[in-house]
Amino acid sequence: MQLTPYAAGGFGAEVSGLDLSEPLSADDADRLRGALDRYRLLVFRGQELTPEAQVRFARSFGTVAPPEPSAGLSTHSEAVPELQWLSYLRADGSEPSDRRPSQADVWHTDYAYLPDPAGLACLFGVEIPEDGPDTLFADMQGAYDALDPDRRSELRELRAIHQQRGGLDPALYRLPPYLGPGQPDDGSAQRQAAHPLVRCHPASGRHGLYMAQCYTIGIEGMAEAAAKALVAALYAHATQQRFLHRHVWRRGDLLVWDNLATNHRRSKPLDRPRVLHRVTMRRKGAEA
Ligand SMILES: O=C(O)CCC(=O)C(=O)O
């Protein structure tokens, strides 16, 4: 197994020399967990993975979390309920009727609106069109480190509030259909959680900005306008080119990322058939 870091700053690395359709050795699994804590994003190319093999691979990083309902995501099959299917087409194969951008088209960390969000996720490229969309990743630890020390201590005092159908500018995108057909909107599908705006990584001890354009609705104890301005300023900082990695998809790519340390988004809204398989995990041995 070989690791090639993408950047001098250590954000993202490509892993070669592993066939993930076969079970990982305990030694390789250990090295991959360590590499993910260090690089926050791992990319494997040229894999042939069944849904079962992807779930087995995901289990090397921790407990596989039950899928959460999200825009464009549906459970793959009853046989593999842990795996979600992220597609342009609807589950019945029809074209989407609402083509506005979705929450995946703005910067986010997955499921920030849950009290204990799954800390890790992996995506496998099954059907990949030419010309994207790509997936963009932002290094939220690198962005935090680059702030000046006073700013860092101020931010460490704050807690951000995240909501499932939220975001400081919800008009930007289409919200997912959280409710099933005929299910009354009694508010139960509207989940909310508060987390420190700066989270400390349980394995590396590094701090990172923890926020999501599509979920963060405010900062505890701060007026809405001030919270909006703060989150916008932090995004302007964290999404500078020097903190970004763009993944240009090929069929057979498998990506694993750490949601405590990164944000991600699609480079442009889906407008053509594309299928990714997705599994989310809770880190082994630590709270996510
Ligand atoms: O479709 C993509 O490129 C990104 C998917 C995404 O945002 C997610 O899986 O959370």
Q: What is the pLDDT of residues 253-284, one digit of tens each?
A: 999 999 999 999 999 988 888 999 999 999 87
pLDDT at 147: 98
Q: Does residue 37 have a pLDDT over 50?
A: yes
Looking at residue 103, its pLDDT comes to 80
- Write the pLDDT tens digit of every residue in 25-36: 999 999 999 999
Residue percentage of the chain with pLDDT more than 70? 84
Ligand 1 pocket, Cβ-based, cut-off 6 angstroms: 86, 104, 110, 123, 133, 135, 264, 266, 276, 278
pLDDT the model gives residue 269:
86
Contacts with 134 (C-beta within 8 Å, 6 or more apart), sequence order: 246, 247, 248, 249, 266, 267
- What is the residue with the minimal CA distance to atom 7 of ligand 1? 104
With 70 as the cut, is the pLDDT of residue 287 above it?
Answer: no
Distance 154 CA to ligand 1 centre (A): 31
Q: Give residue-wise pLDDT tens across range 123-180.
A: 999 999 999 899 999 999 999 999 999 999 999 999 999 988 777 766 665 555 544 4
Of 4-8, 80-84, 94-98, 225-229, the range with the lowest mean pLDDT is: 94-98
Nearest CA to ligand 1 atom 8: 104
CA of 122 to the centre of ligand 1 (A): 10
So what's the pLDDT on residue 181? 47
Residue whose CA is closest, atom 4 of ligand 1?
266
Q: Contact 15/3 with Cβ under 8 angstroms?
A: yes
Cα 151 to ligand 1 centre (Å)? 30
Flag whether pLDDT at 77 surpasses 70. Answer: no
Pocket test for ligand 1, best of 86, 127, 174, 250 (most atoms within 8 A of CB): 86
For the chain, list the domains and their CATH numbers: 2-176+190-283 (3.60.130.10)
Least confident of 21-30, 41-50, 186-195: 186-195
Identify the pLDDT of residue 191: 82
**Ligand 1, atom nearest to 70 Cα:** 10
pLDDT at 288: 38
**d(Cα 153, Cα 283) in Å, to the nearest integer?**
27
Mean pLDDT of the residues in the chain = 88
User: Measuring from atom 1 of ligand 1, which residue has the nearest CA?
Assistant: 266
